Structure 1
């Protein structure tokens, strides 16, 4: 790789790390935001919901947009959008405005992620696998150390710092991108002449609208019921609107020629469907701990943001150490053994959460963090390998898109689970109940991994 290629990699890496960094730093800011805006946990959890819902919708749209309008343009535009959102979010006069800027930030960073890997694939022609692994390190590293960075920033400069810290990354990436990313080729006649109606059909605007309305309405209905601790007619109506919209979404996706989420694909390829179901459950487990444990430490055990960030570093470091080891193991033995061990580790970590009480040493939470961190490293490689193993080569692009959708659905469900279990205020009893639920989910993953491994061995014998 020549010097220009290395600088291009740095430019893209600095941009793509913004999405995982901002999705992870917020985990140690929940307690502070609750106090600042005087809100209960279920309301503040929308700072998580909004980011992941917007990312789940924006990334596939921006991927399609880049094919039509140019990857360099989308990448640079995403950096500008991220810069504006990071600058304005700390100035929010209310929590509602903070959510708005958080959504804008998610859209901006999703624009960057959606085209970053494509830029590397197109313009780095030598040692592409090495280049893509470097890009993965930028993203996984940012997610791993995000809670630590967030804890340090909040400790010294309060919560606005987790938004301002993006600005140096954005500026550096933008200046390097201007010099290193080649200009886009002239648009094809089809792209130049496409109408708004055809563009809406291409991205499945109707499906996106039904998906967004249904998901948000269902979340509002469930969380409002838990927050107010009683079921009102309004909550039921909002929840029913969500269910009806999601039902209409399923019906629409089965009929449309360019679906936002190709549901027919799930029915056609059962092995790939199981991979996505398992991946969604893995993310429910991981992110329930990822967002739940910092709030437990700060609200129940009264640990500072700084020390919470240091403890959470255990999760990231174990994940980073396990990933290369997992790669070599999976190359030799396939993904199933690693996924089974990962499920067992998640079960152990979930059981450990149940055993925690007010007298448990704070440092003991590192046991659960280490178990989940190692399992995350195994899953990061194992799930991707299982996807490639079970997906037809001619539709690997669609399979990757569905795979990312499963990731976001898992993170959204994890936030919903945590919000419903904890209600208005984080407490030790609620956290223990969360651990019980996570244990049940983890045990189902153990059974699923073992069953799929046995099925695979029977097919090969």
Structure 2
């Protein structure tokens, strides 16, 4: 039992052990949705932004890629810092950057400046989700209870809801204030996160927080509490990791023979990264532990496959509704409402039961069905068919992400839960980057129906791979809550 230090109303203190500290839920949830809301709102803004700056889809797609490239690098890096120094300070710094990026995007005079704002948004939104997972784990340790399904479901449902409602919100904002409004909305969101984070997140130096984080340190285990030794920050490892991702994704966004050096650079940096991480005592990514955790690696792969299909649909279908079907940005956003309702309903109904394997199998099968249905869609398709396709593809969005998050919580080393969660988000964003690359490839000039059908076949193949990696994995059926 961990005693109170000053009382539950004092800033930075923790209540006596019992249930999950519900004061944490609001900043955790609000912060964790900053990235999905920004990634989804931009879907309906790509066409108006392209019109404003005279840029084709192959250029505006960088508004998508820039955010995900920055986040793919930033999530595990900041997650590692959260594991080392505690969530509060990283949360506050990250959400501050979101507000700055919002102002920068609202005033941007060029497409290049908008892309820079999206990069800053990517880094700024990278802190909240690892912080939330670290807080969830620390609460389980503090209370002696390991029943986080409700909290994990809240995080997943919130992220999925705003990811799907984002196009609707983006369309409404564009209708009221033009495309710049999708950037401006980050200012009040950032202010709300800063206020909640300052008032409710525990300080790392709080005695009860530190004690809960360092449980087991006296028995010879590595402490996962906040550290102040700057030498433990593996800056070379983080830099090499960034080089691997950036060079690889730059090539995938524009694969041409004259860019042969990019995959070579990525391979060389990956080799150097592996050598360093295997030699240093406190690596950025503990490859020895990660390499021996095959179930967790499989979870990362399934996260990548699931979200490659999900984001291919979100970006590709939305652009096709506007250019191939001739809908306005706001109407295209409203056309995705059934997908939002389906995802939210499925997540809410199934969230309390982990059932990881069942969710992944059902999600993959329904995703394959939705991709096949896309092949029936054309410029003259009735509205009911357009809505039905979105509804079908909303179901796996309510299953796959939640299943992967629950699997990671059980499979990851508790001492590195934030960095492991950051890597999970990295694979999600790698899927989004793969989706944006596919969208640019299948829609080189405009989002037409033949391009949509080619994209649907690409999505169908990814969904089949997701099913193939899930069916033989018996470890998924053995995941059970840890005893505290």
Distance, in Å, in 1 between the alignment partners of 2:351 and 2:362 is 14
Higher relative contact order structure (alpha carbons within 8 Å, sequence separation ≥ 6): 2
Counterpart for residue 200 of structure 2: 180
Counterpart for residue 351 of structure 2: 327
Distance, in Å, in 1 between the alignment partners of 2:412 and 2:138 is 23
Counterpart for residue 387 of structure 2: 366
Counterpart for residue 228 of structure 1: none
- TM-score, with normalisation over the residues of structure 1? 0.84
Moved more, 254-263 or 338-347: 254-263
CA deviation after TM superposition for structure 1 residue 307, in Å? 0.9
- Is the CA contact 1:155–1:304 (under 8 Å) kept in the aligned structure 2? no
Cα–Cα, structure 1 residues 185 and 222, in superposed 2: closer, same or farther, change >3 Å?
Answer: closer
Distance, in Å, in 2 between the alignment partners of 1:435 and 1:62 is 35
Counterpart for residue 282 of structure 1: 306
CA deviation after TM superposition for structure 1 residue 68, in Å? 4.7
Moved more, 296-305 or 77-86: 77-86
Counterpart for residue 304 of structure 1: 328
- Is the CA contact 1:53–1:412 (under 8 Å) kept in the aligned structure 2? yes
**Deviations 1:83-102, CA, capped at 9 Å, x for gaps:** 11111211112211111111
Counterpart for residue 471 of structure 2: 450
- Is the CA contact 1:253–1:260 (under 8 Å) kept in the aligned structure 2? yes
Following superposition of structure 1 onto structure 2, how do residues 44-443 of structure 1 map, counting pairs within 5 Å? 44-119=60-135, 129=148, 130-185=150-205, 194-195=229-230, 198-199=231-232, 202=233, 204-225=234-255, 231=256, 233=258, 235-327=259-351, 330-331=353-354, 334-387=355-408, 399-443=420-464
Distance, in Å, in 1 between the alignment partners of 2:304 and 2:240 is 21
Query: What 5-or-longer segments of structure 1 have no aligned partner?
Result: 226-230
- Is the CA contact 2:245–2:266 (under 8 Å) kept in the aligned structure 1? yes
Q: Residue 254 of structure 2: SS of its match in structure 1?
A: helix
Aligned residues: 441
- Is the CA contact 1:338–1:378 (under 8 Å) kept in the aligned structure 2? yes
CA deviation after TM superposition for structure 1 residue 3, in Å? 8.7
- TM-score, with normalisation over the residues of structure 2? 0.80
- Is the CA contact 1:9–1:120 (under 8 Å) kept in the aligned structure 2? no
- Is the CA contact 1:7–1:176 (under 8 Å) kept in the aligned structure 2? no
Query: What 5-or-longer segments of structure 2 have no aligned partner?
Result: 1-7, 11-20, 211-224, 479-484
Distance, in Å, in 2 between the alignment partners of 1:210 and 1:248 is 7
